[in-house]
Amino acid sequence: MKPVVGAAALRESPQRLARRRKLPNRTCVGTWEKFTLVDAGNGNVALRAQADNLYVCADNAGTSPLIANRTAVGTWEQFTMATA
């Protein structure tokens, strides 16, 4: 898979953080917060962590916290781009 566009950073919404009862612990974007957008086909993208080259996964249909722990792109590692 080839990169689509440079890099991306993720930031969770305050509502999602409140549901998970977790607080952000970074004040700026570093290597651990950067991802490469990869074309996953069919209009979808995958997010590859720049820190360790693992793909972000949305286990349990996205109800579990996102985590970069996969070595390949499968169903749970594909995302649709949306505009804000």
Query: Hunting for tokens 């949305």 — which residue is that?
Result: 58
DSSP 8-class letter at 52: T
The Cα–Cα gap between 38 and 26 comes to 25
List, for residues 14-65, the tens digit of each pLDDT value.
444 444 444 456 677 777 778 888 999 998 889 898 889 999 888 887 788 7
The answer to whether 57 and 76 have CB atoms below 8 angstroms apart is yes
The confidence band for 73, taking pLDDT boundaries of 50, 70 and 90, is: very high
Catalogue all structural domains in the chain, each as residue range(s) with its CATH number.
Answer: 8-80 (2.80.10.50)
User: In degrees rounded to 5, what are phi and psi of residue 75?
Assistant: -60, -45
Note if the pTM is more than 0.85. no
